[in-house]
Amino acid sequence: MKITTVKVVGFDSTIDGMRAPYKSYAKSDTDTSQEPCEYGESDYNLAERLCKAGRNHRKFMRMWYVYADIEAPRFWFSEFDTHRIGVEKNSESTVHTLYKEDLADDMFEFDFENSPKCAVDAMRATQKALAELQKQFVAETDPKKKNYYRRLMKQILPESFIQRRFVCMNYEALRHMYAERKDHRLPEWNKIFVDWVKTLPYNEFITNDFDDKEN
C-alpha cells in the first residue's frame, strides 16, 4: 500500500476566515506569497486556539485540502469508504480495466512467500480463474455474455487486489479519520496511514500533537 501526497492547499486563503468573527484582519502576520505558506506566530496561535476549542470553532480546517494518490487493497478501501464527509475520490474502475492486464503478484496486498500453503493455493487458483475469464471475455462478441464474464471477474476478485484512487480530503475529515484509525489492528491504518499523515504540513492539527510541535 502506498499513499502519495499530490498537493496541499488552503492555508493562505483561510486566514481571513479565521479572523472574520472579530474582524482582526490587521493582526495577520503570515506571508501568503508561497503555498503552502508558513503561518506567522499570531495566525498560528489563533488557528491552534480555534482547533482546540472544538469543531464549531475550527471550521477553517474544512477548507484545508489534501490531494492524494492512494494505491491500496480493496479491504482497506472498504473501511476508508465509511468516511464520507469531507472526502471525494475518483478510482480506477475494475469494470473497465480488470480484463486488460495480467494479474501479477504485485497487484495484490498478499504475502505469497510466507502465507500458509492453503492461502497461497487459494490465491493461485483465483489468479488462474481470473486469467481464464479474461480470455473468455476478450474472445466473446455478444454484449450480454461479455457483461456476464465481467460480473464473474468482479465476483471472485480478492479483497487483497490493489486499487488506485485519487482522493481529496479536508483536514477536519483527516482529523476524524486519524482519531478513529490510529490504533486500528491493520498496519495499513496504524502504520502506513499514520506515517503518511505525519508528513503533511501542519499535521499537528490532525493528530492534536501540538506539544510535539512546540518541542
Domain containing residue 31: CATH number:
3.30.1360.170
Number of domains in the chain: 2
In sequence order, which residues have a C-beta less than 8 Å from that of residue 144 and are 6 or more positions away? Answer: none
Q: Residue 157: is its pLDDT beyond 70?
A: yes
Give the pLDDT mean for 89-113.
91
Block residue for cell numbers 506569497: 33
Q: Residue 99: is its pLDDT beyond 90?
A: no
Cα distances from 87 to residues 92, 97, 138, in angstroms, run 17, 24, 35
Instruction: Quote the pLDDT of residue 215.
Output: 46
Secondary structure letter of residue 20 according to DSSP: G
Shared-domain flag, residues 178 and 202: yes
Is the dihedral angle over the CA atoms 73, 79, 82, 86 positive or is it negative? negative
Q: By mean pLDDT, which of 29-38, 65-74, 79-88, 163-172 is the weakest?
A: 29-38
Looking at the domain assignment, is residue 98 inside a domain? no
Looking at the domain assignment, is residue 105 inside a domain? no
Looking at the domain assignment, is residue 99 inside a domain? no
Q: Residue 212: is its pLDDT beyond 70?
A: no
130 touches 156 (CB < 8 A): yes
CA 176/CA 181 separation, integer angstroms:
9
Instruction: Quote the pLDDT of residue 47.
Output: 97
Question: Tens digit of pLDDT for each residue in 126-152?
Answer: 999 999 999 999 999 999 999 999 999
Task: Please report which confidence band the pLDDT of residue 213 belongs to, taking 50, 70 and 90 as the band edges.
Answer: low
Shared-domain flag, residues 57 and 141: no
- At residue 72, what are phi and psi to the nearest 5 degrees? -150, 155
Name the pTM for this structure: 0.91
Question: Tens digit of pLDDT for each residue in 72-98?
Answer: 999 999 999 999 999 999 999 888 888
Shared-domain flag, residues 149 and 173: no
C-alpha cell at 159: 479483497
Looking at the domain assignment, is residue 64 inside a domain? yes
Task: Please report which confidence band the pLDDT of residue 119 belongs to, taking 50, 70 and 90 as the band edges.
Answer: very high
The whole domain housing 115 covers 111-156
